[in-house]
Amino acid sequence: MEPTTNGTPGKRVLSTPLPNPSLQVTADHNLKQEDAPVYAPGHDEVLLHIKATGVCGSDIHFWRTGRIGSLVVEGDCILGHEAAGIVLQCGEGVKTLKPGDRVAVEPGVPCGECFLCQDGRYNLCEDVQFAGVYPYHGTIQRYKTHPAKWCHKLPDNVSYAEGALLEPLSVVMHGIKSAGLSLGRGAVVCGAGPIGLIALAAARASGAHPIVITDLEPKRLAFAKKFVPSVLTYQVDRNLDAESNSKAIRKLFNFEHVGEYGAPEVVLECTGVESSVVTAAYTARRGGTVMVIGVGREIMNNLPFMHLSLGEIDLKFINRYRDTWPAGLQCLGGGILDLKPLKLPITGMAFTIDEKDNVEINKQVPVNTTSTGTSHPGHLVNQEDHEIGKLASFRKYPWACFWSIYAVWVVLLVSFENQAAGNVIGIPEFRKDFGHAFRAADGTVSNVIDARWQSAFQGAPVASAIVVVTFAAITMEFVSTTPELFFGGKFLNGFVVGALASVTVTYIGEVAPFALRGMLTCLTALSYTLGPLTVALIVNSTGLYTNRWAYRAVFCAQFGFAAIAALLLPFMPESPTWLVSKNRPEAATKALAGLGYKGEQNEKRLANIINTLEQVKKETEVAGTIPALKGAVSMILLYCWWYNVTIGATAFTILCETSTSRLRVKTIAIGLALQNALQTMWSFVLPYLFNPDQANLGGRLGFIFGGLSFLCLIYLWFYQPETAGRTYEELDEMFMKGVPARKFKTYRTNAQAIGEAVKVKESVQAP
């Protein structure tokens, strides 16, 4: 077994060095890639080229907490203990293997001398040298030496990937053997994760019937049903206590009609979660057995010991396995167990590759259901996204960029509509048709818009309108000759475009390539500049007409914006994130294809979306009257332009990035609804504050907004986190952990570390 120090007697580095990238955990809970030394095989040892290796929950536990019980990471240590490979060299004394043999690696090497080893219970040896447990290096490296005795030949029909699965399979087989599972007796498997699915297959092969598998996630249960069609499934109800869930599970065994004998005899608990262990205790029949296979908390305080005692229910535990590897190989090679449907992402083998060094991904399986929580393709996408630049991203994902930009055009329709009403108020012909006479202080007669009518616009838009409805609304505005009809058109149009605003901003945030997300969401703000600019140009050209075309030209122009916005909407791919949130992975795959993600990129992107959604559970000099008016208009236009290309642009990016993945569309809808509500409020209040027949504040209104801006500045300085360069998964993690806003920029997330680890593993597995 390879030690973590190079100076151990009896170990020598190969005379011809080989590149050996490895993944190591450090004592301060960091992961790093480092080229590890390759040792020459010693007596009774072989040198292996690792062809498939997995990441177990214990590896993640060592990384995140630095220990499992009394096992503490005190220095750099290569992770991994689920592996298969090919023999490259044999040391002296090796007679059972030769170069070229394909083997599965049993990672524990006992002392062979203590009373437990002599008694055949070598898995309990206190001096065991276990791969990936400090101070012994593990299997996430290209080359590794290992005692030949603990390398088991793979049958020709068993792949390296299946060979890596032998380690968790051996754990399950040891548990089933210790539990005494027998033919025709009912069994329950708690947890449809990697170990649970292997336990399900092994229990069925052992003759247990009926079998029920439980889990919180319906996708896992659906896959379990497909994997073993005869299994019964139960989705654990979070709102019920353990005893109530156990009663529901028992009903599936029809025990109410056949008595306690019909209840499950054996419960295989494969999660290690305390609440699941308690449920298992209440589920087993009197005189039955609860076998805890999953590794959980060090101390559990809520186990129902009196219930276990009164029912003489055996609560058993196992430590790894013993004497199960040969039997496991027979089961796989002889076809008794078929674990091929458990493609590696579903089984926790996040870094496993096939004989050709290619990762295989099962398109039908939700790849976020791994034991480690580190789905290989999903986290690899995170790392790849961090490494690609803006121009390269545009070249790689042109269709995603195209549809994002098209969505920006739809937002342009929103901004045009928002500004049209406010600008036409300044048109004399509009004031004459829809206003009332007012004698100003200088005795001249003018027309003003009564501020009271604007109160009808109170309320938030509903995000459920269709863009074609805007044609009817625009028509109402265009033909209106009374305030009532004009109000109806504006209200209907505001209702529709309000929905479009939240939907399109969300869409851009979810489909835009990571490197371009900030830029494309900022284009939303640019559209809020171009819309008002277009309105201003039209008003400037037609505003002095002496007929209704003075203001109707603005409304007519909306037909063009709406027509272009509606032109390609039937062909626009739906947001894959939204589809996944609605449990429609097949549709999400098609949507990703429409966005330009093909083949492996499609699969990895889908995995990334699924991962992100689990966890959880953005001045001038003038003179004269006419030049002064032009200067004021220019200043307003300059201000609007500058606002929308600076802080106004970042608002939409922040809105997209600070909302959690599962609630993004709702958060954006609420944010934009609040914005529209405030706009409605100001539209109602400002005429009262500005008009000379009311408060007559005029330009002094700037002090109000200046004061509000100062308060916003204080908020931004102390409470607004830096989201640039962060994936949605990283942002969700930091918000969930309560990372202070000022530390967002420098905080190192688990998602980053996992992504780097996956990238390292990719290089480790390179031939």
Q: Per residue in 605-645, pLDDT tens?
A: 777 777 677 665 433 334 344 444 445 555 555 665 566 55
Average pLDDT over residues 98-121: 94
Residue 348 CB neighbour total at 10 angstroms? 30
pLDDT band at 754 (very low <50, low <70, confident <90, very high): low
Q: What is the dihedral sign for C-alpha 633, 636, 642, 648?
A: negative
**Cα(425)–Cα(42) distance, integer angstroms:** 90
Burial 462-484 (b: 16+ CB within 10 A, else e): ebebebebbbebbebbbebeeee
**Domain 390-581+619-706: which topology?**
Growth Hormone; Chain: A; (1.20.1250)
Helices (H), ranges, 311-458: 325-333, 376-387, 390-396, 398-424, 428-434
Task: State both tokens at 294.
Answer: 């999953």
**pLDDT reported for residue 314:** 95
Which residue has better confidence, 695 or 274? Answer: 274
Q: Which of 203-207, 251-255, 473-477, 618-622 has the lowest mean pLDDT?
A: 618-622
* Domain 165-333, CATH class in plain words: alpha beta
pLDDT of residue 118: 94
Does residue 576 register a pLDDT over 50?
A: yes
Higher pLDDT, 232 or 456: 232
> Given this model, what pLDDT does residue 43 score?
92
pLDDT for 9 equals: 45
Q: Is the preceding omega at residue 210 within 30 degrees of 0, hence cis?
A: yes
pLDDT of residue 549: 72
Q: Which of 161, 159, 135 is nearest to 1 (CA)?
A: 135
Q: Which of 52, 711, 712 is nearest to 352 (CA)?
A: 52
d(CA 640, CA 653): 18
Cα–Cα distances in angstroms (integers) from residue 338 to residues 228, 235, 348, 350, in the given order: 11, 25, 17, 19
pLDDT of 39 over the 70 cut: yes
Confidence (pLDDT) at 650: 67
Asked if residue 710 has pLDDT above 70, the reply is yes
For residue 238, the model assigns a pLDDT of: 85
Is residue 155 very low, low, confident or very high in pLDDT (cuts 50, 70, 90)?
very high
Instruction: Report the alpha-carbon distance of residue 54 to residue 289 in Å, rounded.
Output: 30
Report which listed range, 47-56, 146-155, 361-370, is most confident. Answer: 146-155
d(CA 180, CA 514) in angstroms, rounded, equals: 52
Q: Is the pLDDT at 356 greater than 60, yes or no? A: no
* Percent of the residues in the chain that have a pLDDT greater than 90, as a whole number: 29
Confidence of residue 657 (pLDDT cuts 50, 70, 90): low
Boundaries of every domain in the chain:
21-153, 165-333, 390-581+619-706
Question: What average pLDDT does the segment 703-726 reach?
Answer: 78
3-class SS of residue 215: strand
Q: How far apart are CA 161 and CA 557, in angstroms?
A: 62
**Whole-angstrom distance, CA of residue 507 vs CA of residue 408:** 10
761 pLDDT more than 60: no
With vertex at residue 630, the alpha carbon angle to CA 628 and CA 633, rounded to the nearest 5 degrees, is 110
SS3 assignment, position 612: helix
Mean pLDDT on 700-717: 79
The CATH T-level fold of domain 21-153 is: Quinone Oxidoreductase; Chain A, domain 1 (3.90.180)
Q: Is the dihedral of CA 678, 683, 685, 690 positive or negative?
A: positive
> Is the model's pLDDT at 349 over the cut of 50?
no
Mean per-residue pLDDT, 105-133: 93
Mean pLDDT of 407-415: 72
- What stretch of H or E contains 105? strand 102-105
Taking the CB of residue 488, how many other CB atoms lie within 10 A of it?
16
